[in-house]
Amino acid sequence: MRIALAGAGAFGEKHLDGLKLIDGVEITSIISRTAEQAAAVAEKYGARHHSTELADALARDDVDAVILCTPTQMHAEQAIACMNAGKHVQVEIPLADSWADSQAVLAKQQETGLVCMVGHTRRFNPSHQWVHNRITAGELAVQQMDVQTYFFRRKNINAKGQPRSWTDHLLWHHAAHTVDLFTYQAGKIVQAHAVQGPIHPELGIAMDMSIQLKSESGAICTLSLSFNNDGPLGTFFRYICDNGTYIARYDDLVDGKEAPIDVSKVDVSMNGIELQDREFVAAIREGREPNSSVGKVFDCYRVLGELETQLAG
């Protein structure tokens, strides 16, 4: 499996580190915003080709699939370009930053039949897999999810603290993780409401947001998001179930009394990004739809589009 990666920044390198651990995978092309970064990352990961233009990778015969870790605003157009070139594609979350663009990507996937997967990593984190396995086994049901997504990003920087060329978004990026996970664990969302705080004068985005969701099962979700939080960073999920309470912090899981739960045997790795990439490669090899395919996560973007309309009203 010969893979090109576009967007060799902080998150792109997480994918490259995961791909190195998958048998039969070769990283053949690196695309980045600057030629210097593309060349450096290509040398580090043994890629024979590097460029600043995605089209250069799409024209190559030694590229079977592409992973896009590019700015959000480019995701939909680039995903469609990959499929038009006959390449399977994994788009980092979010799929798009509008409902219309989300629909266009799904339409192209259905037209081509290629694998188009979206990086909804929470479906793959062992902590959330453990909960999902118990739900599907009928051992518990979610009554409420309480989620906090907190960062301190009053300047436009990435996960490495470096300046960004684009602006992140609480709704279309960070809320997408929880909206999809709640659907995955509790069923289709039938009610959604949102409020947001003041718009940042330079970044042009809301720095604080609150979202309430209800699923067809009757479960509810309360999601608090902030770029103003000067404290512990990341996302913390509390599952309040009919048979126990569980708190997930990325790949770690504890019960409601903070007793650790061993999730090391849930999957072949404890790294959610690696597991996500393993699913992408396996789906291509096996000719099947992957978990977190554009079709399976599509309803998340319907909800985000509805919430955007509410917030604009």
Q: Is the pLDDT of residue 166 over 50?
A: no
pLDDT score recorded for residue 200: 87
Question: If we measure between CA atoms, which residue out of 241, 264, 232, 233 comes closest to residue 251?
Answer: 264
Yes or no: say if 124 and 272 are a contact pair by the CB < 8 Å rule.
Answer: yes
In this predicted structure, the answer to whether residue 154 has a pLDDT above a threshold of 90 is: no
Q: Which two tokens stand for residue 77?
A: 């157009």
pLDDT in tens, 171-207: 999 999 999 999 999 999 999 999 999 998 888 889 9
Task: Specify the pLDDT at position 145.
Answer: 98
DSSP annotation of 146 reads E
Name residue 76's beta-bridge partners. Answer: none
Q: Report the distance separating Cα 182 and Cα 274, nearest Å.
A: 22
Q: Between β-strands 252-255 and 49-51, what pairing exists: parallel, antiparallel or unpaired? A: unpaired
Contact 63, 29 (CB under 8 A): yes
Instruction: Give pLDDT, residue 160.
Output: 59
Q: Which of 213, 240, 215, 214 is nearest to 224 (CA)?
A: 213
Q: Could you give the CA distance from residue 77 to residue 96 in angstroms, rounded to a whole number?
A: 9
Query: How far apart are the C-alpha atoms of 9 and 189, rounded to whole Å?
Result: 33
What's the DSSP call for residue 158?
A: -
Domain ranges of the chain: 2-119+273-291, 125-266
- Pairwise CA distance, residues 185 & 120, whole Å: 13
Pairing of strands 142-150, 116-119: unpaired
Q: Out of 3.40.640.10, 3.40.50.300, 3.40.50.720, 3.90.1150.10, which CATH number does the structure's domain 2-119+273-291 have?
A: 3.40.50.720
Phi, psi at residue 130, to the nearest 5°? -60, -45
AA identity, residue 14:
K
Taking a C-beta distance cutoff of 8 angstroms, is the pair 159, 152 a contact? no
Query: What is the pLDDT, as a whole number, of residue 163?
Result: 57
pLDDT tier for residue 34 given thresholds of 50, 70 and 90: very high
pLDDT of residue 165: 53
Q: Which of 110-119, 127-136, 156-165, 235-244 has the lowest mean pLDDT?
A: 156-165
Q: Give residue-wise pLDDT tens across range 232-268.
A: 888 999 999 999 999 998 889 999 999 999 999 999 9
Q: 125-266: what fold?
A: Dihydrodipicolinate Reductase; domain 2 (3.30.360)
Residues 212-238 have a mean pLDDT of: 95
Tokens coding 261? 């739960």
- Residues of the chain with pLDDT > 70: what percent? 96
Length of the chain in terms of residues written:
313
Cβ(126)–Cβ(277) under 8 Å?
no
Q: What pLDDT is stored for residue 78 in this prediction?
A: 98
Spatial separation of the C-alpha atoms in residues 143 and 61, rounded to whole Å: 50
Q: Is the pLDDT of residue 156 over 70?
A: no
Model confidence, pTM: 0.94
